[in-house]
Structure 1
Amino acid sequence: MTHKNAPDKTHAIKITVGDITTLDVDAIVNAANEALLPGGGVCGAIHHAAGPELANACRPLAPCPTGEGRITPGFNLKAKYVIHTVGPVWHGGNHGEADLLASCYRNSILLAVENNLASVAFPAISTGIFGYPEDQAAKIAVSTICELTGELAQMPQIYLCCFSPLARQHIEAACQHHAST
């Protein structure tokens, strides 16, 4: 049921389509692997753009369990920091994937708050080679961000950086759904 006077918590979310490594924000989030090593997809792109210093900074922080986060400098990125989080691999949805994915967003935002960051950009965590369905991942991202918006006294500006127009459609639909509930 919608409440006319209930605040729309999706205001903390800005949606963009493009290359996350080029965003001028305080931190970008890396959809990392547990070893925090350069990989494929967004992880590989972030490591490539940041330079070899990023891998060196990650080594002592590994391993990073699924759902947790670690923070490093951004090195050659426009972003001052990289928040590394390990998303769940999709195994059909009955193995705690939703809770683990929500933990990625929650823990990354809490790291940003702890480090007094004003803006954070997220990719669509786990939707690449980890196989999480984009529409379901978008709903979890939006609901977790909105939940934290209601809990935290100071919330950074959140950018959801979509790699494709279809990913943007999933985020927009999740925002519309969340705003109407």
Structure 2
Amino acid sequence: MNIEVIKADITKIHADVIVNAANSSLLGGGGVDGAIHRAGGKQILEECIQIRDRQGKCKTGEAVVTSAGNLPAKYVIHTVGPVWNGGVEKMSKLLSNCYKNSLQLAESLGIKTIAFPNISTGVYRFPKELAGKIAVEAVQNFQAENIKKIIFVCLDDENEMIYKKLLD
């Protein structure tokens, strides 16, 4: 499995799946979530509403899938990262679950490439170094059958540097 780090806009990435750092409502919001919903169009929102009607909100650490609408991907996996409150052990497990559950869902779809944003490191204030360590460990420990390439898509220089250092 090949792991790449790039600095880019995740809505422009050509991958089978892009992961959305969603909020529990699944109805779009700020940051990555808002950007994915805006770029993907109303089809993503409509499918998120159907998921909500079926199961209620998406819990922290869990993941659901929709089509990608107007995005250059086949699917969007929406995962809800934890809001940092300092409980390192609990928060770390929840963030790790975001990556594990997204990867399991991607595997079940038979996809080859998946792109992750830096989950919870924006308005959810998860410490970037710790979040990077958790993300890299989660993907390196995942036993993939179908997935051949994982891309960490960083929006800023700081995250890009952290992930590149962790993968060296």
* TM-score scaled by length of structure 2: 0.94
Return the offset for 1:12. 2.6
Runs (4+) of structure 1 moved beyond 4 Å?
A: none
More strand by percentage: 2
3-state DSSP class of the match of 1:125?
coil
| CA deviation profile, 1:143-180 (whole Å, cap 9, x unmatched) | 010000xx33333410000001111111012223xxxx
Q: Which stretch of structure 1 is more off in the superposition, 93-102 or 25-34?
A: 93-102
Q: How much is the aligned-residue C-alpha RMSD, in angstroms? A: 1.2
* Aligned counterpart, 1:35: 25
Query: Does residue 175 in structure 1 map to residue 155 in structure 2?
Result: no
* Aligned counterpart, 1:154: 146
- Unmatched tracts of structure 1, length 5 or more: 1-10, 177-181
Q: Retained in 1: the 8 A contact 2:107–2:145?
A: no
3-state DSSP class of the match of 1:96?
helix
Query: Does residue 22 in structure 1 map to residue 16 in structure 2?
Result: no
Structure-1 separation of matches of 2:88 and 2:130: 13
Q: What letter is aligned with 1:96?
A: K
Q: Retained in 2: the 8 A contact 1:112–1:156?
A: no
Structure 1 or 2, whichever has the larger Rg, is 1
* TM-score scaled by length of structure 1: 0.87
Q: Retained in 1: the 8 A contact 2:115–2:150?
A: yes
* Aligned counterpart, 1:45: 35
Return the offset for 1:34. 0.6
* Aligned counterpart, 1:82: 76
